[in-house]
Homo-oligomer: A and B are copies of this chain.
Amino acid sequence: MPSRDQVKRLVESAPFQRAIIGVIVLNAVVLGLMTSDQFDKGALQTLDYVLLGIFVVELVLRLYAHGWAFFRDPWSVFDLLVVAIALIPASGGLSILRALRIIRALRLVTAVPGIRRVVRGLLAAMPGMFSIVLLLCLVLYVGAVLATEMYGASTPQHFGSIGRSLFTLFQVMTGEAWPDVAGDVLEHHPSAWIFFVAYILVSTFVVLNLFTAVVVSAMESERQEDQTVDATLLAEIRALRGEIAQLRAERAELP
């Protein structure tokens, strides 16, 4: 039986990782083909089981190689969960679970370093956005309760319940089809334009600031480099002052 280090070297080797990327891509293609009726479902299903088997073997190898450290790496846990989800539909028969097998294709995110870096960047921008997203949710919720109370009775297709209102106002926030919604409401409530204009202005403005936060956060890292340069400059100048102070001290010692 191979040692832990040997397995570790194997699973971390470039050819092994390239092979796994190939298996993920192949699996994504197979699952894509399975949505069509033109192909032999049985053969594709078998191929899918085989590929799933490869993933299971790969995960077992990585678990053996890294031990408990495997669970400290969030990307590894993600891989494990994604394969675990894929294992459920293999036994069950629910269509939703069967559909979720394609989630396995998201393993590309952890397997391709470039995509991994992008996703890490996206996640890093999250905390700075938290308060703005909370504010956005608050605006959405207050808008939905208001709209349900005021327009729920007359236009139940848009604002019949708080859930429906939330969905309608989410659509309005994405800038979609709001003239239709507003048209239906305005027939019964001529003053509803105040609500729509106010809601659109406020939500657009908050979304704009969400966006600005992402741009500014993306520039943060750039600026930190600049600050390093500035810090170097400062250090150089301070060293210079030190040398001049020494020059004066030496002169004072002269007779």
How does the 8 Å CB contact mask read for A196-239 relative to B, with 1 for contact and 0 for none?
01001000111011011111101100110011011011101111
Nearest Cβ on chain B to A158's Cβ, whole angstroms = 10
In the complex, the answer to whether A132 meets B106 with C-beta atoms within 8 Å is: no
In the complex, the answer to whether B243 meets A152 with C-beta atoms within 8 Å is: no
A99 interfacial by beta-carbon distance below 8 Å: yes
> How big is chain A's contact interface, by range?
35 or more
- Known contacts: A28-B141, A35-B161, A244-B243. The answer to whether A122 contacts B205 by CB under 8 A is yes
In the complex, the answer to whether B142 meets A170 with C-beta atoms within 8 Å is: no
A88 interfacial by beta-carbon distance below 8 Å: no
| Chain B contacts for A170, CB-based, 8 A | 197
Closest to A232 in B: B234
Report copies per complex. 4
A229 to B179, CA, bound (A): 50
In the complex, the answer to whether A109 meets B131 with C-beta atoms within 8 Å is: no
Closest to A193 in B: B167
A215 to B208, CA, bound (A): 9
- Known contacts: A114-B131, A146-B102, A200-B174. The answer to whether A32 contacts B236 by CB under 8 A is no
Closest to A231 in B: B229
| Chain B contacts for A205, CB-based, 8 A | 122
A105 to B230, CA, bound (A): 46
A187 to B2, CA, bound (A): 56
A72 interfacial by beta-carbon distance below 8 Å: no
A188 interfacial by beta-carbon distance below 8 Å: no
A31 interfacial by beta-carbon distance below 8 Å: yes
Binding site for B on A (CB under 8 A): 28, 31-32, 35-36, 95-96, 98-100, 102-103, 105-106, 108-109, 112, 114-115, 117-119, 121-122, 125, 130-132, 134-135, 138, 141-142, 144-146, 148-150, 152, 161-162, 165, 167, 170-171, 174-180, 182, 193, 197, 200, 204-206, 208-209, 211-216, 218-219, 222-223, 226-227, 229-230, 232-234, 236-241, 243-248, 250-251
